[in-house]
Structures are given as structure tokens and as C-alpha cells.
Structure 1
Amino acid sequence: MSTLPETTRLLAELVGFPTVSTDSNADMISFLGERLVSAGATVEIMTDESGRKANLWARIGPDVPGGILLSGHSDVVPVTDQAWSTDPFDLHEADGRLYGRGTCDMKGFIAAAVAMAPVWAERATRRPVYFAFTHDEETGCLGAQALVTLLEGRRNLPSVAIVGEPTSMRIIEGHKGCFEYSTHFTGLEGHGSSPDHGVNAVEYAVRYVSRLLDLKEQLKARAPEDSRFEPPWTTINTGALVGGVAHNVIPGRARVDWEMRPVQKSDGDFVKEDLRHYCEDILLPAMRAVHPEAGITTEVIGEVDGLEPATENEARDIVMELTGANGAGLVPFGTEAGLFQALGMSVVVCGPGSIEQAHKPDEFIELSQMQECLGMLDRLSRKLG
């Protein structure tokens, strides 16, 4: 079994890569690829069109069906304007905790998985173990979506996936989807003293946000009676409204960034159809009465389906055996798990660290959580031979 000090040293190296979603993750992926190759893995690195972002797909063990996938994302959220006590990209240990950006979300799991690779290289004689490390999970699961597209149709895909998002090592068998959008408004600039001669893009964006707030309330009444989620309904969040250049200028452009987290597919369809009619029947006619070239377009940042709880779930059964847990729960936050489920895998989310620490200044993971994760992965290795 890989030791905790070895894994901590590896985590320190991973934290040292500042893989904020706006920046490249290529160096970290290359580093992980080298570590896995040295352990005997077959490694593929897949870059996006820019060459700055990369996914890693690797296998240890025989090229046969029924493997077990360990999945994690390499990107982290920004540290800008956060009050960190220490350098966020320099791992700091204190009071049984490891501090640094990405320690719990989710480089801790990646470090544990890669540290175990030499052990699996010896034990994976019957059932292979796979690794999927992706880019841009924090911005619409873009990397995982690209990876899944490339994997479709391949033979010998894994049958089980464990997504190591921070769950305090609890087993999660379901979560809501995550649909992210940016809606762009194009109006007509003009002098603020003559509002009727322009089309105020910000004002129409505000009306759009007001519609989102109405839908947010309507969705509460659509919650399934047997919903196990908290809250039990589909949620909508307005993340940003951007527009305008000066107090006395009619803004010609505006943008609304928003998301919804569906508990059921029909809710996503309901919201999108309502907004389509609202724009086509109400907002656009008013805008184009003044400026025929005015427009509203919605950019899909990502539409990632949720993880649906399944009656039969080999991943859940395996991880329950490995951890000694007697049940599985649900969470409101999204992961890449639904994408792997769509490929036909049984999937659970289970990883070290608390989601309560993710995205915050002085993000940390407890050493006890890392030790618990390593123990689970060591017991998993015994199922591979």
C-alpha cells in the first residue's frame, strides 16, 4: 500500500501546478502521465483545439471488459480576491490538515489514485483499473464531455466508475444535473438623455433575470413527491449580470450568466421553452421595434446530466464493501458522474475531503481523510487480481 507521506508529497507537487480553469492544465497532465507510465500504465493524453487544455486516459492491467475507473478533474477555481493565510499553490501542513488550492477539490483524490498505481500494476492481473483526469470541470465539465465523446464506441470500456469528488468518503449515488448558460443581449447605444432612441441591453437583461426569478419559484411546485434531493426541486441561480460603460450611455450590450440544476429532465425542458417564448414573444419584439438588428442569444456553457440513482449499481455495492458503509446518499452539487453513467457504467461519487471546504480561501483536506481514501483504494486493488 502507498504510504500517506508519499501521497502527501505527490499532492504537494499537484497543488504546485496552478491549474485555474482560465489557465492551462497541460503541465500537470503531462506530469501525471509520466508518473503513470513509470508505474506501467498505458496512457493517452488528449488535448483540445487550443493545445492548452488536456485530458488523460490511462489503463493498468489487461485490455478486457469490466474495468474500474477512477475519475478526477485537474482544474481548480481562482484564488483572486480571496484572503489566504498562506500561498494557495504551496502545500502547507498544520494541525492534521493539508492546506492549498485544490487539496480537497480534487487533487487529494488524484494524488491518492496515482500513488496507488505501482500497487495496482502488481495486482491488476484480472480486472483493469482506469484513470480519467480531465480539464474544465469547474466551467461546464468541458473536458469530461470531450473525453466521453472520444470514448463512445470503444470496446472494453470500464463497467464501474468511482468519481473522487469530496464527499468526506461518504458514498453518493445521485445528484442533480448542472446546466450553465450565458445569455447575450444586443441593443442600441445612445445618449442617456434620449432613452427612447436606444435599446437598453441592461434593462432587457434585468427583465430576463426577473423571468428567471419567476421560474425559480414555479419550479418549487414541480418537485417530485418522492424527491430525495435537498432542496427537492430544480434550482436556478443568476451568477452575473454584466453590461454598460458609463452613467450617461445607453448600454448596447449585456450578458446574464445563469445556471439551473434539474432534478428531472422535464424541468430543464420547461425552463428553456418558457424562456424561448418570453424572448420571442415579448422581449425581442419590443427591442426590434426600435432597432431591427437587436438580438438575444443564449450560449450553452455546459449541459451535464445528473447522476440518477439506480436500483442495481455495482459501483455502489463495491464501494460499500470497501468502506463498510451500509447506505448511499444524494448531494445537490454536480459532478462528471452522469457523463460516465451515460456511457453505460455504474457510477458512484466518493472521495476524501469536505465539499464545505471547496472553493474557499484556506481550502484544506484532513490527513485522516487521505488515509481513509488510501485504505479504500488499497482494498480495491485486491479485487483486481
Structure 2
Amino acid sequence: MSDAVRNILGKLLAFDTTSRESNLELIDFIQGYLTELGVETQLFQDANAKKANLYARLGPAGNGGVMLSGHTDVVPVDGQPWTMPPFALTHHNGRYYGRGSADMKGFLACVLASVPGFLAQPLRMPLHLAFSYDEEVGCLGVRSLVAHLKVSQDKPAMCIIGEPTEMKPVYGHKGKLAMRCQVQGHACHSAYTPRGVNAIEYAAKLINKLTLLGAQLATTQNPRFDPPYSTLQVGTIHGGTALNIVPQDCQFDFEIRHLPGVEVDSVISELEQYADDELLPAMQKVAASSDIHFQPLSQYPGLLTDPQSDFARWLAQWCSNDEFTTVAFGTEGGLFDEAGVATLVCGPGSMEQGHKPDEYVSVEQLERCMGMLANLRTWMAA
């Protein structure tokens, strides 16, 4: 493995870019690195100017070309039994350890280490670089960059997202909708239960309705995905204060991971109608202040790119693997695809290591990624 990749990866891992933290120090490092190479960059900051996407392009002006994209944020290490320092590079037995090494700073290091090679030769089309924030909390940060691309006169034609796929080309994943439901009842002493509105009981009715709606979603199937249908599950629930008090409040979060093309707004509409027509009248008959509120938490579309397309054929050549597949986890790919940029996913490492203690990416995987980028550079040469 080249010293450049190792050195850059070590610097990237040293930045704690957990989604709750700022990513600006890492972005400043990348911006400085690219500026020294003569590459102009553009930042898209969040509302608080504490996080930013970075966008850059190399090569000739004009539409088209290939974009290499990855997120800079990582998941927390809190409560995980790490035996290696999470925010430092540790090299052991052919592996580079550190939070984000697989998901997905290993890919970012390879891309950055490859930039001098792309600059050293004339390109017949532009190479775009896109590094985002807050992917791990619902693909939230990249949206300002996507909005820019939608109206840009120099939009890339193709995008490779370097999520960890063991360098296997991926053409599809499910979309996700995450929601929060807040039920407000009416508290009273449990000896007088009929005078109260039990928020937990009404939350349970809503959860039972979600179970039925999930079963309906599962009737539409696509064998290219695992599981081959859309799934719906409740992940957290909180409510009540004491056993002898009818609970006034209950809150639960749920998510739908849906097949590409499956419309989930109708599921939420049916749940809201059930709340309005059947639950709220009974609740407000006892206490007029009772209420049920639904709040979207995050949402991103699924991805389904034609694995028989020219782009897929080219990627198979670049990464020396024509076994296209789908993945269970989500990416920013569906958002780029909606912006008119054909998107595939391929990157070093495995999600089997991502998000876990002692996360790592193997040297062999990084070498394969560098090989893919070298093949891409040859294909893009003028």
C-alpha cells in the first residue's frame, strides 16, 4: 500500500467526525490538500456553519464526467469495547483500524491519494469530487450539494459512491423513511383510570396498526433484494412516569425501509387517518387536550440503476468484477440519481466491520480500490 494512502488515512481517522460533532477540521484538511495541488473547491455549509460539504472538479469544463463521492461523518464509539484507539490509525496484520476506516474514510483516502495522478495527465472529461456530512443520520447533509448539482451547467453524468462493498459493484439499495409519533393523553391517579387517557395504550394501538401496514407492504416483492420486500419496524418507545399514574405522554420512533419505487407516503396517510378517525375522537371525548402528532425524522430514496447500462459495464471493468448486487444499507445514491446523475456504489472494506468496535479496512481492499481508480484514470485520459 502506498505511503500516500496510509498517511492520508491516518490524518482522516484522527478527526472525530462523529455526526454530532463538526466536520470542519477534516474539511479544512481536504481543502488545503486540494488547494496545494491547484484544485479549486467549493463548500456548502449547514445553517450553523459548523459542518460542510466539499465539492471540487478536475479536468476540462463542461457537462458530464464521473463523480467520486463519500461521506465524512462516522457513527459514535460510545459504549463499544474498542481495543484499538478509535481516532487514530493502527496497522496490524494487514489491516488499518480506526473509526471510519471502512465506512468510509478508506475510500476518501484512496480518492485523495489518486488526485495527483488524475492531474498529471489530460482528461477528456471532468472528474468531480463530493464529500458530504451527516450521512449517518439520514443522508441529511448532502442535500445542499444535490440542490447545486440539479441546476449546475457542469453536472456529472455518473457517480461512484465508495461505501464499503468489498469492491463489488452495487446497483441498488432500499430507501428509508423514519418517523416519530408523539401521543399526548391525560394523566390521573390509576385508581381513576377511566378519567384519564392512557398515552401508552393509544400508542400501542398505533403500533398494532403499523404491524398490519407492514404486512401489506411485504406483499410487494423484488427477489434482487434481501429481504425481498419493504420492512417496517418500531425501534424505540418511551412513556409513563409511574405505575400508579395513567401515562400522559408516549413517544415512539419507527422506520420503513422500502424497495425502490414503492410509495410509502400512502402508508403514513393511512396511519394518520386511523389516528384522526378512530383514536382521537375517543381520546378527546375524555380530555379535549389529547393529541397525536407525527414528525418526519429523515428520508432518502432507494437506488436502482440498470446493471446492464454502459456505466455498469465500465465500472465492472474498472473494478475487475462483473458480479453486480444490491445491499441492505442505504446511501446517498438515490439522491444523486434523482438529480439526474447515474449512480453506482463500490468501495473498499465491508459493512461487516463498519459501525463496530475495532472497525478496520484491509490493505488488500485499499489496493483494489487504488487499482479501480487507476483504471478509471486510464479510461478518462484524453
Normalised to the residue count of structure 1, the TM-score between the two structures is 0.93
Is residue 260–residue 303 contact of structure 2 (8 Å, CA) maintained in 1?
no
1:282-297 maps to which residues of 2 (within 5 A)? 282-297=278-293
Cα pair distance change 1:23/1:287, threshold 3 Å: farther
- Counterpart pick for 1:32 among 23, 30, 33: 30
Cα pair distance change 1:249/1:350, threshold 3 Å: same
Is residue 244–residue 251 contact of structure 1 (8 Å, CA) maintained in 2?
yes
Secondary structure at the counterpart of residue 268 of structure 2: helix
Secondary structure at the counterpart of residue 352 of structure 2: helix
Is residue 171–residue 307 contact of structure 2 (8 Å, CA) maintained in 1?
no
Is residue 237–residue 259 contact of structure 1 (8 Å, CA) maintained in 2?
yes
Deviations 1:253-288 (A, max 9, x none): 322111111114344134223212221122222222
Identity %: 38
The answer for the alignment partner of 1:375 in structure 2 is 371
The answer for the alignment partner of 1:79 in structure 2 is 77
Secondary structure at the counterpart of residue 222 of structure 1: coil
Is residue 305–residue 343 contact of structure 2 (8 Å, CA) maintained in 1?
no
- Counterpart pick for 1:58 among 56, 59, 62: 56
Secondary structure at the counterpart of residue 140 of structure 1: coil
80-89 vs 252-261, which deviates more?
A: 252-261
The answer for the alignment partner of 2:239 in structure 1 is 243
Corresponding position: 1:42 with 2:48: no
Is residue 188–residue 198 contact of structure 1 (8 Å, CA) maintained in 2?
yes
- Counterpart pick for 2:334 among 328, 334, 338: 338
- Counterpart pick for 1:196 among 191, 194, 197: 194
Is residue 74–residue 133 contact of structure 1 (8 Å, CA) maintained in 2?
yes
- Counterpart pick for 2:300 among 301, 304, 309: 304
Q: 1:22 and 1:251 mapped to 2: Cα distance?
A: 31
The one-letter code matched in structure 2 to 1:8 is R
Cα pair distance change 1:60/1:18, threshold 3 Å: same
Is residue 307–residue 324 contact of structure 2 (8 Å, CA) maintained in 1?
no
The one-letter code matched in structure 2 to 1:197 is R
- Counterpart pick for 2:206 among 205, 208, 233: 208
The one-letter code matched in structure 1 to 2:63 is P
Q: 2:84 and 2:191 mapped to 1: Cα distance?
A: 50
Q: 1:89 and 1:180 mapped to 2: Cα distance?
A: 29
The answer for the alignment partner of 1:154 in structure 2 is 152
Q: 2:227 and 2:254 mapped to 1: Cα distance?
A: 18
Moved over 4 A (4+): none
1:379 deviation in Å? 1.6
1:245 deviation in Å? 3.4
The answer for the alignment partner of 1:179 in structure 2 is 177
1:46 deviation in Å? 1.1
Q: 1:81 and 1:211 mapped to 2: Cα distance?
A: 34
Is residue 306–residue 312 contact of structure 2 (8 Å, CA) maintained in 1?
no
Q: Which runs of 5+ in 2 are unaligned?
A: none
Is residue 150–residue 340 contact of structure 2 (8 Å, CA) maintained in 1?
no
Secondary structure at the counterpart of residue 256 of structure 2: strand
Q: 1:30 and 1:286 mapped to 2: Cα distance?
A: 56
1:18 deviation in Å? 1.1
Deviations 1:311-341 (A, max 9, x none): 6534322211112222311112111111111
Q: 1:302 and 1:373 mapped to 2: Cα distance?
A: 31
Cα pair distance change 1:4/1:203, threshold 3 Å: farther
Q: 1:134 and 1:382 mapped to 2: Cα distance?
A: 26
Q: 1:193 and 1:28 mapped to 2: Cα distance?
A: 58
Counting matched residue pairs gives 381
Secondary structure at the counterpart of residue 119 of structure 2: helix
Is residue 107–residue 163 contact of structure 2 (8 Å, CA) maintained in 1?
yes
Cα pair distance change 1:377/1:277, threshold 3 Å: same
The one-letter code matched in structure 2 to 1:252 is Q
The one-letter code matched in structure 1 to 2:296 is V
- Counterpart pick for 1:323 among 276, 297, 319: 319
Q: 2:182 and 2:51 mapped to 1: Cα distance?
A: 26
Is residue 40–residue 60 contact of structure 1 (8 Å, CA) maintained in 2?
no
Deviations 1:215-241 (A, max 9, x none): 2233222225xx311111101122211
The one-letter code matched in structure 2 to 1:98 is Y
The answer for the alignment partner of 2:166 in structure 1 is 168
Instruction: Give the superposed CA RMSD.
Output: 1.8
190-199 vs 259-268, which deviates more?
A: 190-199
The one-letter code matched in structure 2 to 1:380 is L
Q: 1:311 and 1:376 mapped to 2: Cα distance?
A: 18
Q: 2:203 and 2:24 mapped to 1: Cα distance?
A: 37
Corresponding position: 1:279 with 2:275: yes
The answer for the alignment partner of 1:349 in structure 2 is 345
Normalised to the residue count of structure 2, the TM-score between the two structures is 0.94
Secondary structure at the counterpart of residue 85 of structure 1: coil
Corresponding position: 1:257 with 2:253: yes
Secondary structure at the counterpart of residue 265 of structure 1: coil
310-319 vs 270-279, which deviates more?
A: 310-319
Cα pair distance change 1:246/1:50, threshold 3 Å: farther
